[in-house]
């Protein structure tokens, strides 16, 4: 059976499963639509939360970043996993004990202010829309190659699928769909990794294969270091960026993860506070399976790519691959536009090296090379990896299904967060408190449909790789939501004026900084400064600036709250009751 037919069958079967679950678990009330009726088993919720959290950035893009950045990409592993620990320990149990539907609802009640609630809605929508752009990029990448469509058509197909099962099922449908998507995702990620680890290192466990040896007895990471140095690149295991930027990027990803509303709301779906803690523990286990595999996938996929285009020693007759001899996967990915080759010296061979490295210029001149000829979109590495390693068609098709599951699961969770913030927090909480449950449910579905359209439109022109776009979203959540949630739980002196001032200052600063380097509303050409390290403030990039925004948020909120009247006594008692166990 050929690859196209196998892919259609496996991906089609998963889509039928998702839609069937959505129909079976159709939400009939606002409680089921927003928080699945608060009746989800902790283990099931842990699996659904893992799927919600492990987005296209985790499945598709993170290993691609690790492949091309090496050591520097470890910040994504540390930031995202560390952030989830913060969320599990410092926020989830307390917010679940508070017992409301959404993050803006907690902020509005805790800070006794509709204004604070509206600002929280705005911050949530800005962060979630930015995050969902990354998922749309992942959907487009997967569809464009394996279903043989353009990136745009693939994006529209993904939008339609998300629209159907998210709008019909709400949180109840999304939860059970995400359980199925986690199973698809984790098998799709680990099975190819096992095959490739066996082929390269002889070890079936990718986590151990990363530290293993290749056929000539050299350690895999040492081999990558040597190959890249020969091609003018920095060592794979060397730190290439700024230590300061790495620190702030790690912090931004950590506190951004802990402030992501679509993950926080998952802890409202379990029956009790104890279940929220259990759910958090199970989620960490389910996440660890993929996250401990990702470094091996990144290193091995890059090793396979280099060996494909550089089969012999540099400068030898067969050192660079003749374009007429490229394997089938190469030409198939070229058709998507995500892999490009330009024969700059008309020799018919593929030159891949760091043409920006002045020290390598004499070597390039000696062999008549006129610049790097190969451009690889980092987001294709995981999807192309099984093809590069010549794995069976069913494994390749399973990888496609896994990538789509990752993007669809997180997109649905984000759209749910956006929908509930508009219908429950804005319309019911502020504009029309007397709205009927039926009308609120209709408003939620309309809001979700509108969010799908906006996300799809922005996904047509993403401002970077999927993981980079997601990092921007984490920075926005870090600078706006996380500080006010932490202060709201652990600082009973924090009042509404401080919370409002903190959210506005942190979010405004971060947005202005991001738009300065990425363009206003991510429109190409509208940025005022080049997005390069030498132009960044103190070498801190847009993906890392959320940590500074969070610091500004905390400082402003604390100063303003100290300069204004303390919260009412009942609010201070509420804060104490959230933190103190019931038995006390």
* Phi, psi for residue 374 in degrees, rounded to 5: -115, 130
In our burial notation (b when 16+ CB lie closer than 10 A, e otherwise), range 460-476 reads eebbbbbbbbbbbbbbb
pLDDT in tens, 454-491: 877 777 766 554 555 666 777 888 898 899 999 999 99
pLDDT in tens, 133-143: 777 777 777 67
pLDDT of residue 584: 42
170: confidence class by pLDDT, cuts 50, 70, 90: low
Candidates 240, 211, 206; CA nearest to 223 is 211
**Contact at 8 Å (CB) between 305 and 376?**
yes
Burial class of residue 139 in the structure, from the number of CB atoms within 10 Å of its CB (0-12 exposed, 13-18 middle, 19+ buried): buried
- 522 has pLDDT over 60: no
**Lowest-confidence segment of 29-33, 41-45, 173-177, 574-578 by average pLDDT:** 29-33
Tell me if residue 581 falls in helix, strand or coil: coil
* Phi, psi for residue 207 in degrees, rounded to 5: -60, -35
Q: What is the mean pLDDT of the chain?
A: 84
- pTM for this entry: 0.81
Residues 6 or more apart whose Cβ sits within 8 Å of residue 283:
45, 46, 47, 49, 50, 53, 84, 88
Rg of the chain on CA atoms, in Å: 24
Candidates 316, 325, 302; CA nearest to 227 is 302
Q: Report how far residue 291's alpha carbon sits from residue 183's, in angstroms, rounded to the nearest whole number.
A: 15
At CA 459, angle to CA 27 and CA 245, rounded to 5?
110
Inter-CA distances, 210 with 11, 67, 299, 346, 445, Å: 30, 12, 7, 37, 46
Task: Give the dihedral of Cα atoms 3, 6, 12, 14; nearest 10 deg.
Answer: -110
DSSP letters for 370-417: -S--EEE-GGGHHHHHHHHTT--HHHHHHHHHHHHHHHHHHHHHHHHH
Q: Give me the CATH topology for the region 3-301+387-579.
A: Sodium/glucose cotransporter (1.20.1730)
* Angle of helix 243-258 versus helix 546-563 axis, rounded to 10: 60
Q: Where are the domains of the chain?
A: 3-301+387-579
Both structure tokens of 398: 């399973």
Candidates 9, 17, 43; CA nearest to 405 is 17
52: confidence class by pLDDT, cuts 50, 70, 90: confident
Q: Report how far residue 8's alpha carbon sits from residue 187's, in angstroms, rounded to the nearest whole number.
A: 18
Residues in the chain: 584
């Amino acid at each position: 059976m050929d690859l196209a037919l196998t892919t259609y069958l496996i991906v089609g079967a998963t889509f039928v499963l998702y839609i069937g679950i959505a129909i079976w678990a159709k939400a009939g009330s606002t409680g089921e639509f927003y928080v699945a009726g608060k009746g989800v088993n902790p283990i099931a919720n842990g699996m659904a939360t893992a799927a919600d959290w492990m987005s296209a950035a985790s499945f598709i893009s993170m290993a691609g970043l690790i492949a091309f950045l090496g050591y520097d990409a470890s910040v994504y592993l540390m930031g995202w996993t560390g952030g989830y620990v913060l969320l599990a320990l410092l926020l989830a149990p307390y917010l679940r004990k508070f017992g409301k539907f959404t993050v803006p609802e907690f902020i509005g009640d805790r800070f006794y202010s509709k204004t604070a609630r509206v600002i929280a809605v705005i911050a949530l929508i800005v962060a979630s829309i930015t995050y969902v752009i990354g998922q749309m990029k992942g959907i487009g990448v997967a569809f464009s190659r394996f279903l043989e469509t353009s990136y745009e058509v693939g994006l529209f197909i993904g939008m339609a699928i998300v629209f159907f099962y998210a709008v019909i099922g709400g949180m109840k449908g999304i939860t059970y769909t995400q359980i199925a998507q986690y199973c698809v995702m984790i098998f799709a990620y680990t099975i190819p990794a096992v095959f490739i680890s066996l082929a390269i290192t002889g070890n079936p466990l990718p986590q151990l294969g990363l530290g293993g040896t290749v056929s000539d007895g050299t350690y895999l990471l040492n081999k990558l270091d040597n190959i890249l140095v020969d091609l003018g690149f920095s060592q794979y295991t060397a730190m290439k960026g700024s230590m300061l930027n790495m620190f702030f990027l790690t912090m931004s990803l950590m506190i951004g993860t802990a402030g992501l509303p679509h993950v926080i709301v998952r802890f409202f779906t379990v029956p009790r506070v104890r279940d929220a803690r259990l759910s958090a523990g199970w989620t960490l286990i389910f996440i660890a399976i993929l996250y401990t595999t990702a470094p091996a996938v990144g290193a091995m996929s890059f090793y396979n790519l280099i060996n494909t285009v550089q089969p012999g020693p540099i400068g030898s007759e067969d050192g660079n691959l003749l374009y007429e001899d490229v394997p089938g996967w190469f030409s198939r990915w070229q058709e998507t536009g995500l892999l490009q080759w330009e024969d700059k010296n008309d020799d018919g061979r593929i030159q891949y090296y760091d043409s920006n490295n002045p020290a390598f210029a004499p070597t390039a001149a000696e062999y008549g090379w006129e610049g790097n000829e190969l451009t690889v979109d980092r987001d294709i590495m995981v999807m192309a990896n099984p093809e590069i390693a010549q794995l069976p068609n069913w494994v390749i098709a399973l990888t496609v299904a896994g990538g789509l599951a990752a993007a669809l699961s997180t997109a649905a969770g984000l759209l749910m967060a956006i929908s509930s913030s508009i219908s429950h927090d804005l319309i019911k909480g502020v504009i029309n408190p007397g709205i009927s449950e039926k009308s609120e449910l209709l408003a939620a579905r309309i809001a979700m449909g509108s969010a799908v359209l906006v996300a799809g439109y922005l996904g047509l022109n993403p401002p970077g790789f999927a993981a980079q776009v997601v990092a921007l979203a984490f920075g926005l959540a870090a600078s706006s939501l996380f500080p006010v949630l932490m202060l709201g739980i652990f600082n009973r002196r924090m009042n509404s004026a401080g919370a409002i001032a903190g959210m506005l200052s942190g979010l405004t600063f971060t947005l202005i900084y991001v738009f300065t380097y990425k363009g206003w509303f991510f429109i190409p050409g509208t940025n005022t400064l080049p997005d390069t390290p030498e132009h960044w403030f103190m070498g801190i990039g847009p993906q890392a600036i959320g940590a500074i925004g969070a610091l500004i948020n905390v400082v402003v909120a604390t100063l303003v709250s100290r300069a204004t009247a303390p919260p009412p006594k009942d609010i201070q008692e509420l804060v104490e009751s959230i933190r103190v166990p019931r038995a006390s």
